[in-house]
Amino acid sequence: MTYIHNPNNSIFNAEVQGASRTAHSAKDKAIRLQADLDTMLLKMQAMWEVISVKLNISDEELLSKIKEIDLRDGIEDGKARPEPLVCDSCSKPNNNKRRNCLFCGKELTNKRVF
């Protein structure tokens, strides 16, 4: 809908207030997500530093493993995409978010950590 700005237009004012609340809520979520990400990065760095010293693993070995995992889907894009779940009953691949096989309906079992 298009509204002409009029301070006395209650519909327009309600729309503006609703949009403002939505924008503030999205900004708050983004700030919380960034804080969570910063915390996770700190913890990952600490884990890597402990593991690399204790197991004598170099940064080059880690980077090589990262590239290997990245290329599992055939695309080097810096993203790890989960492999499809294969149904134990009909052996067909399924989206890993499914609970039941798209083809035969049997319950899918996920035996992977990631």
36-71 pLDDT, tens digit each: 999 999 999 999 999 999 999 999 999 999 999 999
| Residue 82 contacts residue 94 (beta carbons within 8 Å) | no
Does any domain span residue 1? no
Does any domain span residue 16? yes
Query: What is the average pLDDT score of the chain?
Result: 91
Tokens of 48: 């890597």
- The parent domain of residue 86 ranges over 82-114
Would you call 91 helix, strand, or coil by DSSP? coil
Same domain, 104 and 68: no
Q: What is the pTM of this model?
A: 0.61
Same domain, 73 and 87: no
Same domain, 35 and 19: yes
